[in-house]
Structures are given as structure tokens and as C-alpha cells.
Amino acid sequence: MSSMEFKQEDLTALIERTMPFGKYAGRVLIDLPEPYLLWFTKKGFPKGELGRLMALALMLKMDGTEGLLEPLRK
């Protein structure tokens, strides 16, 4: 994940965009459970922006820093 580049807008996207498919369809990306995101590390994250944002969500959860997004929530 360290080779990926993230932008400021990605933090906003994590609290606004929702999972488009699967067990957690409709759930905001940052609210996806860590075990679910970890499962994607084995299976492979989706291609494109969705996968990049999911990887960022996992990184924030693993670092214990996802709480920093709380002030951004509307």
C-alpha cells in the first residue's frame, strides 16, 4: 500500500462514497469492517478508485486513525 498515492479529497470520499456491491453494499467506505477489508488484501481490491479508497480505509483502521475523519462527517 505504501506505493499508492492518496489525495486530500480521498478522505472526504471515504465518508461520502458507499460500497457498491456485496455483503456491505450501501455502507460508507470508512465504515466497512476491518476483517472485510483484510479479506480483500488476500482476494485483491477492486480495480480503480474504489480499490484505492478501500485500501486507504484499511490503512487508517490499522493505524487507528479513522477517528480523524469524524469532523468531516456531515
Q: What is the pLDDT along the chain (74 residues), one digit of tens a residue?
A: 445 677 889 999 999 999 999 999 999 999 999 999 999 999 999 999 999 999 999 999 999 998 888 888 86
The per-residue pLDDT for 1 is 42
Tell me the CB-side half-sphere exposure of residue 62, using CA atoms within 13 A.
12
The answer to whether the beta carbons of residues 14 and 29 sit under 8 Å apart is yes
Domain enclosing residue 26, as ranges: 8-72
Biggest distance spanned by C-alpha atoms of the chain = 33
Please indicate, yes or no, if residue 1 is contained in any of the structural domains: no
The per-residue pLDDT for 4 is 65
Q: What's the number of domains the chain is made of? A: 1
Please indicate, yes or no, if residue 2 is contained in any of the structural domains: no
CA 74 – CA 51 distance, rounded (Å)? 24
The per-residue pLDDT for 2 is 46
Say what the pTM is.
0.88
Q: What are the grid coordinates assigned to 25, written together?
A: 453494499
The H or E element that residue 73 is part of is: none
